[in-house]
Amino acid sequence: MRKKIIAGNWKMNKTPSEAVALIDELKPLVANDEADVVFCVPAIDIIPALEAAKGTNIKIGAENMYYEESGAYTGEISPSMLTDVGVKYVIIGHSERREYFAETDVTVNKKVLKAFEHGITPIVCCGESLTQREQGVTIDFIRQQIKIAFLNVTAEQAKTAVIAYEPIWAIGTGKVATTEQAQEVCAAIRTCILEIYGEDTASEIRIQYGGSVSASSAPELFAQPDIDGGLVGGAALKADFGKIVNYK
């Protein structure tokens, strides 16, 4: 039985002091042993967030990292900077990073490999645009994203990965995918993993849905056989996140 994983993606929101205040507010609301609860926060918030979340079930993750160990990469954060302070999760290849910061399937793959090398669990994002959905190429496109993201990743590593299926048209728009659409694509992702790695890996890897998840949509989405939780943006910044984590 896969354990659910419900992660907040704070994006570029909350100063360090606001982050501490939000964690203090949310920590009693997100207590839940049945799911892994992760707050992915801006880099500068990571250390105060870790401190604020100490002794709770909340795990702190990063929203991005670079694939080199160190050196002349002004503005970037290395994997060992994250592990040194105790970060266990990192979002890789969010559609906003692909769109505004020129990330590609190839750089996503480099980051995924680096994250595994350092023992950080990647939350690997994929998702189609509205045009791709309307043109009927959603599954083909997502299979391509997954196959490249997981190039040279071993079955043992892939088992521990998290994939977030986030249709771009549903992110921050209030337009949540229907339960059927979300389940269909998450099942297709699991099939793709099965083809690459086999049954064991496919049954262990966790696949989230993301895109306008709310307290009202979470229960039905998370009850789907191939949806193992969610990656939550806007609703992760308010008390509603407690309801999402305790969706049952």
Task: For tokens 């039905």, name the residue.
Answer: 220
Smallest gap, in angstroms, from Cβ of residue 153 to ligand PGA?
22
Q: Is 156 a known active-site residue?
A: no
Out of 79, 211, 229, 242, the residue judged to bind ligand PGA by CB under 6 A: 211
Whole-angstrom Cα distance, residue 211 to residue 129? 12
Smallest gap, in angstroms, from Cβ of residue 122 to ligand PGA?
14
What Å distances lie between residue 61 and 71, 131, 183, CA to CA? Answer: 23, 31, 25
Q: Quick check: 210 binds ligand PGA (CB under 6 A)?
A: yes
Smallest gap, in angstroms, from Cβ of residue 181 to ligand PGA?
15
Nearer CB in complex with ligand PGA: 90/202? 90
- Scanning 12-20, 155-163, 196-204, 232-240 for contacts with ligand PGA by CB under 6 A, the matching segment is 232-240
Out of 4, 5, 9, 22, the residue judged to bind ligand PGA by CB under 6 A: 9
Which pair of tokens denotes residue 158? 């892939």
Report DSSP state, residue 12: S
Out of 93, 167, 233, 242, the residue judged to bind ligand PGA by CB under 6 A: 233
Q: Quick check: 93 binds ligand PGA (CB under 6 A)?
A: no
Give the footprint of ligand PGA on residues 120-179 (CB under 6 A): 166, 171-172
Q: Is 94 a known active-site residue?
A: yes
Q: Are 185 and 139 in contact (CB under 8 A)?
A: yes
Q: Are 161 and 113 in contact (CB under 8 A)?
A: no
The string of DSSP letters for 72-127 reads: S-TT---HHHHHHHT--EEEES-HHHHHHS---HHHHHHHHHHHHHTTPEEEEEE-
Which residue has the CB atom at the shortest distance from ligand PGA?
Answer: 233
Nearer CB in complex with ligand PGA: 18/80? 18
HSE, CB side, 13 Å, CA atoms: give it for residue 62.
Answer: 27
Other CB atoms within a 10 A radius of the CB of residue 112 amount to 26
Find how far residue 94's CA is from the centre of its chain.
Answer: 8
Nearer CB in complex with ligand PGA: 26/231? 231
Out of 162, 182, 231, 244, the residue judged to bind ligand PGA by CB under 6 A: 231
Residues that bind ligand PGA (CB under 6 A): 9, 166, 171-172, 210-213, 231-235
Q: Which residues are catalytic?
A: 94, 166
